[in-house]
Amino acid sequence: MSPNFRLAPGQLKEIFDRLSTSQKVSLITVTAITILSILVLLIWANRPQYTILFSDLANSDAAKIRDRLQDEKVTYRLRDGGSTILVPKGRVYDLRLQLAADGIPSQPGAGYEIFDRTNLGMSDFVQKLNYRRALEGELGRTISGIDEVEQARVHVVIPEPALFREDEKETTASVVLKTKGHSRLGEDQIRGIAILVARSVEGLDPENVTILDSNGNLLSGAKAPDAMVGLSATQLELQHKVESYLASKAQSMLDGVLGPGRSIVRVSAELDFQTIERTREYYDPESAVVRSEERTESVTSGGGSPETKEENSLSNYEINKTVEHLVNTGGSIIRLSVAVMVDGIYETSEDGAKIYTPRAPEEMTALGNMVRGALGIREDRGDVLEITNIAFDNETFADVKDTWSAEQNKDLLITMLPKVILGIVLLVLLLMVRGFLKRNLNVARNALEKEGALMPANRGAAQLMPGQPGVRKSPLSKIELPELDEEIPKEVKEAQAKKDQLADFAKTKPELATMLVRSWLLES
């Protein structure tokens, strides 16, 4: 071990004994408060972080999970009226696997596992009822696998077969969906769920599947099957896609020129959804070609009359014919109406206020021409383009932006606050210890100066003279050298005397010398 470490306890005890009673009480109090603060901060910073184990639990499942956690001696927290259970972050995945192995939480609705338990006394009615329950449970689990769906319940009505066809009733089904958060299902997803249920139940048509959300809003079904209704929804979707595509083209171009948030583009498209089929036949009269020719000759004689000869000819001609079958599926653009708003220029005055300046007419004309070219505006088609220079309301956007920034800063502050407080406390503790040591080392240095004042002034100087006692004789001392005392400058003699005086003091009182050196190092 280093000599400094061995001497440290004695030095600290000597320094502590020199303090007054009030200084001792202050030192002990500050040290205790500092250690206690560090312990509290360490406990706070290393506290377990809780994360969600399961949420939206039924009361029965929450009770089972709570009992299981108590048996495992796992700390937990309840939230949202007991429907959400939080556990330490490091054990969440292990606990989920253990609970899943025990079938906790239970699945919503029984599936085909209901037939795992055989019952010899089961009647035909109970067997059909269990089959329907299993079918409904399996469909509910399948639909719950969709990302936007949190929970689904399916009800199927399968009527009994009738003797006559006109007495038969159709199979129907209803589905109740609970979506996750603010998620919404698209039209394609709703139609897909209806088709899934219809294809899973024998004799069920997609039109007989009714889908509702958890608020009771009708999503599909219970409507007369009308092909035009579905076609209208498709037409509106196509129109919306065309308008969004054209608006994004113009908006991206203006954002590159003016900057984001400096322009707004809206497009209204009128599309032609008429489906027209035409069949045309064209005949070319100049391209006549003989297809067939028939000639008949007959000769008549007798009765004193002269002989007569009759000749008949029949020719059939084929004329070229062109048949065209034209089908116009619709969706072409009939007319476009485009509205563009462009923000002006803002200049900052001397007092910091923003002054709005409209853009020049030449600049607005150039922007209009760019939008007209990008969207393919045609005046012969009746397209309309309106571009306006108007001041935007930037204060509302600035308030929203400030709110977002404040939320982000709040999250960052919550994350970094324990570390910052711990660092500040450690820094304050270091400064306090440094100041305390510096004050006590000053006391030691003053004591050292008093000790040095009591020592003989010529002690170190006398040791410089050859032959004096206390000076180690080297082998070279046998050689007789000329006296050089008269040639040595007085300043050199005094510096060497002080150096020897300090070396002798360091040998006799090493503790005070060490404290003095440390005080010099702290001052430097």
Higher pLDDT, 144 or 22: 144
Strands 204-213 and 171-179: parallel
Q: Is the pTM of this model over 0.75?
A: no
Comparing 227-231, 289-293, 306-310, 501-505, the range with the smallest average pLDDT is 227-231
pLDDT at 468 (0 to 100): 42
pLDDT at 251 (0 to 100): 93
Give the Å distances, CA to CA, from 130 to 109, 133, 160, 504.
12, 5, 16, 105
Q: How many of the other CB atoms lie within 10 Å of CB of 182? A: 5
Is pLDDT of 122 > 90? no
DSSP E strand boundaries for 244-329: 263-272, 276-302, 305-328
* Mean pLDDT of the 376-380 span: 90
pLDDT at 458 (0 to 100): 45
Percentage of the chain lying above the pLDDT 70 cut: 77
Instruction: Name the residue ranges covered by the structural domains of the chain.
Output: 9-46, 50-102, 124-220, 234-291+312-392, 406-442
Residues 6 or more apart whose Cβ sits within 8 Å of residue 273: 231, 235, 330, 331
Is pLDDT of 463 > 60? no
pLDDT tens-digit profile of 38-97? 888 777 777 777 888 887 777 888 888 888 888 888 888 888 888 888 888 888 888 888
pLDDT at 175 (0 to 100): 92
- Residue 221 DSSP SS3: coil
pLDDT tens-digit profile of 278-312? 888 877 777 777 777 787 877 776 666 677 777 77
Question: Packing angle between helix 187-200 and helix 124-144, nearest 10 degrees?
Answer: 160
pLDDT at 8 (0 to 100): 62
pLDDT band at 385 (very low <50, low <70, confident <90, very high): very high
pLDDT at 58 (0 to 100): 75
Residue 278 CA, distance from chain mean position: 54
Please state which of the four CATH numbers 3.30.1380, 3.10.450, 3.30.70, 1.10.10 is assigned to the domain occupying 50-102: 3.30.70
Phi-psi region of 404 (alpha: psi -120 to 50; beta: other; left: phi over 0): alpha
Percentage of the chain lying above the pLDDT 90 cut: 14
- 452: enclosing H helix or E strand: helix 394-454
pLDDT band at 253 (very low <50, low <70, confident <90, very high): very high
Q: How many of the other CB atoms lie within 10 Å of CB of 233? A: 11
Phi-psi region of 392 (alpha: psi -120 to 50; beta: other; left: phi over 0): beta
Mean pLDDT of the chain: 77
**CATH tag, 124-220:** 3.30.300.30
pLDDT at 247 (0 to 100): 93
pLDDT band at 459 (very low <50, low <70, confident <90, very high): very low
